[in-house]
Copies of this chain bind each other. A is one copy, B any other.
Amino acid sequence: MTELTRERVAAAYASLVTGDREQILQYWSPDVRFQMPGNHQYSGWFVGLDDYLAKMGKLMAATGGRISSETLNVLVDQEAGVSIDVYRLDGYREHAKEGATSPYERLQVEGVHMLRWEDGRIVEGRSALFADGVTQGNLWWSPVGADGERYEY
């Protein structure tokens, strides 16, 4: 039986970056469901690993690669098969100028991922944001910039 540890949580996220499906499948169930908070275009449940990876790719593209993520804490409950990691994001929309502070262009939030593990793999993930992060995420993900113009077609 695979032990649920902080190291295993970190390894699960690290596997995503490799893009190597075999590695990813060591940590993520092909049937994983993952829920993004809010009501924007990427909110709701992503269904299955393919959908999850495709959507995460689009999210990354929407930032033009200009997003950084930091893990602040990782808590695990081996018995319940649950981990919660606390993270901080700082990202720009692709159209935003460096140093922008409008919530329509820059996202600076902290939140949690709650992951459910079965047989050593993640079967469910849910995200939540502290403070007014969900509203700020809705604005950031909207197609509208701080000037009211659309940056998506």
Taking beta carbons and an 8 Å cutoff, which residues of A are in contact with B?
35, 37-47, 51, 73-77, 80, 82-84, 86, 101-103, 111-112, 114, 126-135, 138-139, 142-144, 148-150, 152-153
Q: How far is the CA of A153 from the CA of B47 in the complex (A)?
A: 10
A37 near B138 with CB under 8 A, answer: no
Q: With A41-B143, A75-B75 given, name 17 new contacts (CB 8 A).
A: A35-B148, A41-B142, A43-B132, A44-B150, A45-B148, A45-B149, A51-B153, A84-B112, A103-B103, A111-B128, A128-B128, A129-B134, A131-B144, A131-B148, A132-B134, A132-B144, A134-B134
Given A130-B37, A130-B126, are A43 and B143 neighbors across the interface (CB < 8 Å)?
Answer: yes
